Amino acid sequence: MVRQPARASSGRYVSRLTGGTLAIIMAGGRGERLRDMTAHRCKPATPFGGKFRIIDFVLSNCVNSGIRQISILTQYKAQSLIQHVQYGWGYLRGEFGEFIEVVPAQQQLGPVWYRGTADAVHQNIELIVSHRPKHVLVLAGDHIYKMDYGPMIAYHVEKGADITVGVVEVPARESRNFGVLTATEWNRVTKFAEKPEAPDTLPTRPDTVLASMGIYVFNTPLLETLLAADAANETSVHDFGKNILPEAIAGNQQVFAYPFQDVKTRAQSYWRDVGTIDAYYDANLELVHVRPELNIYDEDWPIWTYQGQRPPAKFILDEDGRRGMAVNSMVSGGCIISGAVLRESLLFSDVRIEERSSIYRSVILPHAEIGRGCTISRAIID
């Protein structure tokens, strides 16, 4: 069992660290396991939670943590993501050195597109260095969680780490979906295996492994060195999990794990990889519970987003068999429910449902239209 890091750093100290950190958000993935849901959009642009996009969670984490220098690396079907960022995330103050910039694949180092996560960062290393960050925070743009990155960066500095990896505990049977770490009692990482079939489990819990969250803090000079060496390696697939971290560990760099846990209770904090249809469906419907683990109503840690002006949701008709109503459900702005019944469902904006229809435990994405007399159960409608 890895140890929970102490929260000893002052707010002002952490603020200085986050102010000198550049966040790189990896947002170019296809999200192939989401199948048709990413046929016309990249995974980070996929709607989530009634009004958000998946990328809004990591962007909100950055802004709420005091990290105001953010580069988003895109490649696959990025237009809707670019528009979303332009419309909803353009409020940072450039005159104060703040920015959120979208960086598309540009074949910076020759006639090749991004060949992997590490190559995407390497192709933009001059841009990164031009901002002169002391630390670079590399983030996956396709996970759902709320996290203050400041304590993790402070932990990285206090440990004298070269690289720090955010980790969560997951069942060993799910190891083939994650990068899995082996760490000492003091969180020093001794091994990193990408999606292993026979993973190293926790010493006291043989059914549990430490999984990477896709969150890495790097000292900038070391990141440059590791990426340059990886780019010159013709056998590499240029991936942080498959190449960069194992090479750093083999090179005896100081790599530490940062457990993502509640500081007071030491319980594992909420984190979801919504990369499969089942995981996406489950994570959305968790939000309609009476006390969902992910609190999107938290005013102390708001999830920022862009959404056009919408009128309130409307429920009409009140007759037997034609009663517009929703029970244990979330209904977003612009929806009109005409004599239909929703139970344990989540509706995104501008959905129309006609009379005598019944919706049960379903996720209905924006602008869907459901006609009269339909019965929909346990479905995602996009």
Q: What's the total number of domains in the chain?
A: 2
Task: Tell me, yes or no, whether 217 and 336 share the same domain.
Answer: no
346-366 confidence digits (pLDDT tens):
999 999 999 999 999 999 999
Cα gap 286→306, rounded to integer Å: 22
Compute CA distances 3 → 159, 257, 260, 263, whole Å: 13, 9, 11, 11
Token pair for 157: 């500095």
Task: Tell me, yes or no, whether 281 and 356 share the same domain.
Answer: no
Cα gap 92→160, rounded to integer Å: 31
202-260 confidence digits (pLDDT tens):
998 999 999 999 999 999 999 999 999 999 999 999 999 999 999 999 999 999 999 99
Token pair for 177: 């979906």
Phi (first) and psi of residue 380, to 5 degrees: -115, 125
Give the structural domain span for 202: 11-286
Task: Tell me, yes or no, whether 197 and 253 share the same domain.
Answer: yes
CB 340 within 8 Å of CB 324 = yes
Task: Tell me, yes or no, whether 325 and 269 share the same domain.
Answer: no
Place of tokens 């000079």: 221
Asked, for residue 5, whether it belongs to a domain, the answer is no
Say what the pTM is: 0.92
Q: Is the pLDDT reported for residue 1 higher than 50?
A: no
CATH number of the domain encompassing residue 135: 3.90.550.10
Cα gap 326→330, rounded to integer Å: 8
Task: Tell me, yes or no, whether 38 and 163 share the same domain.
Answer: yes
150-203 confidence digits (pLDDT tens):
999 999 999 999 999 999 999 999 999 999 999 999 999 999 999 999 999 999
Token pair for 131: 């901002």
Angle between helices 55-65 and 79-88 (to 10 degrees): 40
